[in-house]
């Protein structure tokens, strides 16, 4: 299964070897917890009721995935199910609510985009 050579865990002082990802299992778990704690709940991040309503309305006007690959025709037109931020808002509420920065996306397109952006995070 592992194709890459193992690397030592990035956690200082940890000597575990990791196959893919930056941290050993224990430290990856630890980091996930830290990241989750920093992120807070989805409501705290702005994905509250207001966002659900706003994104639902947006998807009605933008029923098809607007991701680069779909627009370029590499993928068959997919139904948009989530609203994505073209520029990651990272908690910036101006960016978050700026509709110019929104794009309708299919969940699977969105997931592969998120995976690319979060690459190496080991999540």
Among 112, 45, 40, 41, residue whose Cα is nearest residue 82? 112
- Contacts of 31-40 with C-beta under 8 Å, sequence gap 24+, read 31/122, 32/123, 35/123
CB nearer Zn ion, residue 31 or residue 45:
31
Choosing from 59, 65, 83, 104, the residue that interacts with Zn ion (CB under 5 A) is: 65
Report the C-alpha gap between 58 and 41 in whole angstroms. Answer: 23
Which C-beta is closer to Zn ion: that of 26 or that of 91? 26
Query: Among 6, 7, 8, 16, which residue interacts with Zn ion (rule: CB under 5 A)?
Result: 16
Name the minimum Å distance from CB 15 to Zn ion: 8
CA distances from 79 to 61, 65, 109 (A): 12, 6, 10
* Residue 110 in the binding site for Zn ion (CB under 5 A): no
The least CB distance from residue 62 to Zn ion, in Å, is 12
Whole-angstrom Cα distance, residue 122 to residue 7? Answer: 13
Q: Which among 23-31, 39-47, 55-63, 86-94 is the span making contact with Zn ion, rule CB under 5 A?
A: 23-31
Let me know: does 99 contact 58? Beta carbons within 8 Å: yes
State the Cα–Cα distance between residues 21 and 7, nearest whole angstrom.
Answer: 9
Considering the complex, state which of residue 19 and residue 53 has its C-beta at the smaller distance from Zn ion: 19
Which is nearer to Zn ion, 14 or 45 (by Cβ)?
14
Judged by the rule CB under 5 A, the positions of this chain that interact with Zn ion are 9, 11, 14, 16, 24, 27, 65, 67, 70, 106, 109
């Amino acid at each position: 299964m592992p194709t890459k050579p193992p690397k030592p865990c990035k956690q200082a002082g940890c000597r575990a070897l990791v196959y893919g990802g930056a941290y050993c299992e224990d430290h990856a778990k630890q980091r996930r917890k830290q990241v989750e704690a920093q992120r807070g709940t989805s409501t705290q991040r702005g994905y509250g009721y207001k966002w659900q309503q706003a994104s639902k309305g947006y998807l009605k006007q933008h029923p098809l995935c607007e991701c680069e690959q779909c627009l370029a025709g590499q993928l068959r037109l997919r139904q948009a199910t989530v609203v994505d931020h073209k520029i990651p808002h990272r908690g910036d509420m101006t960016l978050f609510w700026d509709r110019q920065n929104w794009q309708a996306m299919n969940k699977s397109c969105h997931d592969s985009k998120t995976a690319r952006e979060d690459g190496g995070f080991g999540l």
